[in-house]
Amino acid sequence: MATINLAAREIHAKIVYYGPGLSGKTTNLVDIHRRMPEELRGRMQSIATEQERTLFFDFVPIESGRVGGYVVHFHLYSVPGQEHYIRTRRAILGGADGVVFVADATPERMAANHAFVAELADNLSQQRRSAAVVPIVLQYNKMDLDDALSVEQLDARLNGPGWPSHGASAVFGIGVAETLRTISRQVASTL
């Protein structure tokens, strides 16, 4: 949940990038951090294994604008996608003001995408929250691959709730800013 510092007139909101392993969550945050003007971005923190996969989280604090005279700082996190880190994902998700679900757009990853959408709903439920209330944006990553499904096909398979969705290729920086802009606006509207 957002924290408000009345004396400094600041709001701090948490956005979590969630999804299966190797879907592109960390790649999104690296691209966002790289593109942010230096005066608006904090230091990126990442903990990775020898295989360069996120072990705990990435954290990119960015100043995004003003809401009601308060400066809004978005803190971006990504969860580890490896299956055995379910408790870590649940902990990182705690207090999230918004979620970007990064799905792999290839057909062979649909089962993993479905499993993680269900896990996200379950983890929110365990925190007495609902995917119907928490702002969620779907990002269909890896759209640059030859076998990627279309946004329409992916929406039909994964987007029953009708969340906003974007096609993306995070490795090339395509769709990353649009996804962040959408989730930032949704979160700001709830503050």
Say what the pTM is: 0.91
Q: Which residue has the higher pLDDT, 94 or 50?
A: 94
Q: Residue 85: what pLDDT?
A: 85
Q: Residue 155: what pLDDT?
A: 98
CA distances to 40, 107, 116, 187 from 90, in Å: 28, 26, 12, 20
Residue 87 burial (CB count, 10 A) = 9
Q: pLDDT tens-digit profile of 167-188?
A: 999 999 999 999 999 999 999 8
Is pLDDT of 144 > 60?
yes
Return the CATH superfamily for domain 3-190.
P-loop containing nucleotide triphosphate hydrolases (3.40.50.300)
Is pLDDT of 42 > 80?
no
The fraction of the chain above a pLDDT of 90, given in percent, is 61
Cα dihedral: 166, 169, 172, 175 (round 10) = 0
Q: Residue 9: what pLDDT?
A: 87
